[in-house]
Amino acid sequence: MSYIDLINAFELWLETNYLPTSSQLLWYKLIGLFNRCGWVEWISVDNQRLMAIMIIKREATLIEIRDKLLEAGLFIYKKGKKGSPNQYKINTYVFESINSSKKRSENSSKKRSKYRRHK
């Protein structure tokens, strides 16, 4: 799934699912980190860095925002240990079904419009 496909799928997902604005922003920030890291399977990032990126002062606030992403199943998360940051993996499964539905719909539309032109 390409970067733009992922963003488009997230936007489609938001049309039928609720996610607080702050959690949406964190989603974009994490995806940006994945992009900068060359789309590795897992990224490691500590809460302090995410707090700086999000301009959040309280760690509890960041955790609350992050937990909304995890509850929605948008990321897979491994809690870090002392001296080792948390790890995140994009759960593209949520978006792959959206993209495949969208592509089926687009293909159906193309087929219908193709038949209309030939009549």
Q: How far apart are CA 77 and CA 79, in angstroms?
A: 6
> Which one is predicted more confidently, 94 or 45?
45
Class for the domain spanning 3-117:
mainly alpha
pLDDT over 80 at 92, yes or no: yes
Calculate mean pLDDT across residues 87-111.
Answer: 71
Q: What's the Cα-to-Cα distance from 29 to each of 3, 23, 45, 116, rounded to whole Å?
A: 13, 10, 11, 44
What is the model's pLDDT at position 60? 98
What is the model's pLDDT at position 105? 56
**Every domain of the chain and the residues it spans:** 3-117
Mean of pLDDT over the chain: 88
What is the model's pLDDT at position 104? 56
The sign one gets for the Cα dihedral 42, 47, 48, 49 is positive
Q: What percent of the chain has pLDDT over 90?
A: 72
Calculate mean pLDDT across residues 89-105.
Answer: 73
Least confident of 43-52, 66-75, 88-97, 101-110: 101-110
